[in-house]
Amino acid sequence: MEGYQKPGRKLAIVLGIFVVLAIVGIIRWNSLKDQNGAGRKRLGREWSKLELILDQIQNNYVDSVDVSSFIEKTLPTIMEELDPHSIYLPPDELRTADEELRGNIEGIGIVFNVPSDTATVINVVVGGPSEKMGLQAGDKIIKIDTQIVAGVNMHQDSIVRLLKGPKGTKVDVHVKRYGENNLIQFSIIRDKIPVTSVDVAYMADSLTGYIKLSRFSMTSYAEVLGAISDLMKQGMKQVIFDLRDNTGGYLDQALKITGEFLDENLLVVYTEGLHRERQDFFTHKRGFCYDMPLAVLINEASASSSEIMAGALQDNDRGTIIGRRSYGKGLVQEPVYFSDNSGLRLTVARFYTPLGRSIQKPYGTNSREYAYDLVERYRHGELMQEDSIPKNDSLRYETPAGKVLYGGGGIIPDVFVPLDTTGVNDLYLRISRQNLPIRFSMEFADRNRARLSEIGNFEELEQFFASKQLENEFLRYVNKQGIGPVPAQWKECGGILMTQIQAYIGRNTRLEDKGFYPYLGRIDNVLIEALEVLSTASVTELAEPGLVLAPLGKNLDK
């Protein structure tokens, strides 16, 4: 009967919860360093009731119970009861998470998109297994081993799982190539694929270098140093560091990267928890760019290490933070690994900025409310109006230079930039919903693949677009899809759509992201604001060289 659950199954699930609670308790019991014996004795009494229950079930319960199965089913629920970021990771998920942070994964080395129910290769990783076998940008993936993946509404993540696999294993990829009548089969031996965390680094103008960091992986610091060095050779005198949508990663990488924009002996962040004493993290040397005019971009998806970096720079009166309030993830997760290759990410402390601001946004027993926080921000107008950002006067702080900041969850930017809705009219939505810009870009790239493969720099890409009637081609394409653009609406959104199309096509060249982001930058209101801020002499640099903060800073309410 629908909605009915057998009493025996319910009891077994409860048993699983008790078992897991006992195991977690024993782990914490062994790892805690109590200050006195009383605390240890008290913890023992709390867990003894579970032991009694387990003993009763083991000796008297009517049926046998598969404890291992229920542990796997109930651990995620138990971790949710602790806080939003303590999680249990089964072996596969733990391996994937670790691989991405370490900066390498095992697979075939391609970047693909699924614009119209068929995975299309956008780029092939140089030196990777696919490039060695001859796979090319524009190839459409029809079959992987014996499984058809085109035209069957397969989710992109499912295709990724089919392509990824342990180093040394083989996968057969069947592709349709433009101009070829028959499918081409590639037998590819999977290998380690380096994953870069610096998405792109280029000169946004003659003075300004732009660096976008997608995560703080094991290789991030080296990548950022390399990007800074290359940009300085191109004449960089000021920098925009983009942390939007960066969800965090390794703390040591965040500390090193932040340190390159600060003077020596400055507090970057500190951590503290019930069972973890306060630990301060300072810069050890004068950073390579410690006095370079700086703007840091954040948004509602910037989290964890991104917030540590933004908060440290802000509290130290360094640079200008631009965008929207960050996510508010300030809990320290400590990894715990088990012999079956699963593990925990257990919260053991909180992050605090140099002034003592807690980065973590509030959370309680309502996990749904926490999960939908970003939706609530949109509903309450926070993504559009600066006045809608919550500010708690009891968590009001002041920097040594007199700038007022607020704690209580996330980093509030110095310069607010709303979510950009410019040109988003009915025509724009109709075209975007059908994914027409990407679909057209793929078709255009297929027709011009030979010429695009010859383009080696951004100037050549600009010249290529100047030689094409790209807008006319796209309007004809849109008409074929049954959409007749209204001239007035096209005037509002046409420029935005055509810039997006140039970006998508640019990514299909050897320039890859260096042919993509410079075009998107032309319609990026946050980046445009950052360039304006840096061009204004009075706000290009807020820091005073040599300024040293006290460990906790000053809370104005105390």
Residues with catalytic annotation?
304, 315, 329
Element housing 371 (H / E): helix 367-371
Number of H helices, E strands in the chain: 19, 22
Nearest-angstrom CA–CA distance, 136 and 144: 16
Element housing 554 (H / E): strand 554-555
DSSP-assigned letters across all residues of 185-234: EEEEE-EEEE--SEEEEEESSSSEEEEEE--B-TTHHHHHHHHHHHHHHT
How many Cβ atoms from other residues are within 10 Å of residue 59's Cβ?
7
CB of 109 closer than 8 Å to CB of 130:
yes
Nearest-angstrom CA–CA distance, 265 and 262: 9
Token representation of residue 22: 């006992």
CB of 79 closer than 8 Å to CB of 124:
no
φ/ψ (deg, to 5) at 234:
-90, 0
Burial of 321 (0-12, 13-18, 19+ CB in 10 A): buried
CA angle 397, 413, 227 (to 5 degrees): 120
Element housing 543 (H / E): none
The rounded radius of gyration (Å) of the Cα atoms in the chain is: 27
Between the alpha carbon of residue 262 and those of residues 406, 476, 553, the distances in Å are 21, 53, 17
373: left (phi over 0), alpha (psi -120 to 50) or beta: alpha
Q: Which of 421, 424, 427, 520 is nearest to 478 (CA)?
A: 427
DSSP-assigned letters across all residues of 258-300: HHTTS-TT-EEEEEEETTEEEEEEE--S--TTTTS-EEEEE-T
Element housing 495 (H / E): helix 487-506
Strand 320-323 relative to strand 415-416, pairing: parallel
Crossing angle of the two packed helices 251-259 and 305-315, in degrees rounded to 10: 30
